[in-house]
Amino acid sequence: MEIGAVIAGLFTLAILTFLYRDNPVYKMAESLLIGVSIGYVLVITWSSTLVDLLFEPLFAQGALSLTLPLLLGLMMFSRFHHRMSFLSRIPIAVMIGSGAGVAIPAMLEQRTLKQMSATVMPLLTTSGRPDPAAIVILAGVLTTLCYFYFSREHKGMLGVAAKIGTYFLMIFFGTTFGYTVMSRMSTFIGRMEFLLTDFLRLTG
């Protein structure tokens, strides 16, 4: 039996012991997982970003313009010094500002306007009959948006629309729950297949 499969199987069973209750075996496995995960992220970040985008171009190829991001990155570590910790706000400001700037057109165009335009569809088919799908979609979007409008009390027409919006939301949550159950079961089925096939060798 392959040693990797044995190790993986034992760790899998260690994690599954949590189903009975929290215990030292599970805690030890979990602690090891946390340490290995963080070590993995450090290695991947170092090799794929810091070496690739910064150290090699700056020190091996002489791209002096990269001195600025190097300085900004080093400023992040000023957080460990009480008096100098204010410096760490500047690289954070660069990241936050850049993120906010690129988000505005993306959110406006892709998430809002395109979704709104996709909602506005012909409500009658070419034969003149009502299209139930288009009507349901339009009604669903409008009433759900009414539910999320909290600037006025949900009374009268707004209250009725918000109530209908609630029902649409419940359909969405129920559908999502069904798919989530599917997804979680799939993950466990995958682990069970590993245990039966690679670890215990009961199936082929």
Partner 1 sequence: MRLQTRHWVFASLFVLIAVVMASGIRLSVPVSPETQRMYDFIDSLPAGAVVLLSFDHEASSLPEIQPITRALLRHCFEHDLRPVGLALLAEGTAIGYRLMQTTAREYGKEYGIDYAYLGFKPQYVAAILSMGESISATFPQDYLGRPYDSLALLHGVENYDDVAAVLSIADGSFTTHWMEYGGRYGVPVIAGVTAAMVTTYDPYLASGQMQAMVGGLRGAAEYEKLLGRKGGGGARGMLAQSAAHLYVILLIILGNVAYFIKRRRSA
Partner 2 sequence: MDRKIALVACFAFGVVMFAQYFSAHPVAHQVNQAVLEYWQIIFAFALVLGVVGFCQTNVTQVRKGHDRPYRMAALAGFVAMPLLATFWGIKAGSPFLWMFENVQAPMQSTVFALLAFFVASASFRGFRARSVPATILLASALLILLSRTWIPGSMSNWLPDAADWIRNNPSMAARRAILIGIGLGSLTTSLRVIVGIERTWLGGGK
- Among residue numbers 25 through 84, which ones bind partner 1 (CB under 8 A)? 37, 40-41, 44-45, 47-49, 52-53, 56-57
Partner whose footprint covers residue 193, from partner 2, partner 1, none (CB < 5 to 8 Å by kind): partner 1
Q: How many CA atoms lie within 13 A of 187 on its CB side?
A: 6
- Residue 2, both tokens: 């392959």
27 binds, among partner 1, partner 2, none (CB under 5 to 8 A by kind): partner 2
- 168's contact among partner 1, partner 2, none, with CB below 5 to 8 A by partner kind, is partner 2
Run of H or E residues at 132: helix 132-147
Q: Which of 16/158 has CB closer to partner 1?
A: 16
Identify what 67 binds: partner 2, partner 1, none; CB under 5 to 8 Å per kind.
none
The answer to whether 29 and 11 are in contact (CB under 8 A) is yes
**Rg of the chain taking only CA atoms, in angstroms:** 27
Q: Which of 19, 64, 157, 202 binds partner 2 (CB under 8 A)?
A: 19
> CA 111, CA 115: separation in Å to the nearest integer?
6
Phi, psi (5° rounding) for residue 114? -65, -35
Output the smallest distance, CB 158 to partner 2, in A: 15
- Interatomic CA distance for residues 12 and 187, integer angstroms: 13
Site string for partner 2, 184-203 (x = CB under 8 A): xx-xx-xx--x---------
Binding mask 112-151 for partner 2 (x = CB under 8 A): x--xx-xx-------------x--xxxxxxx-xx--x---
**DSSP-based three-state secondary structure for 22:** coil
Of 7, 11, 39, nearest to 26 by C-alpha is 11
Min dist CB 120 to partner 1, Å, is: 11
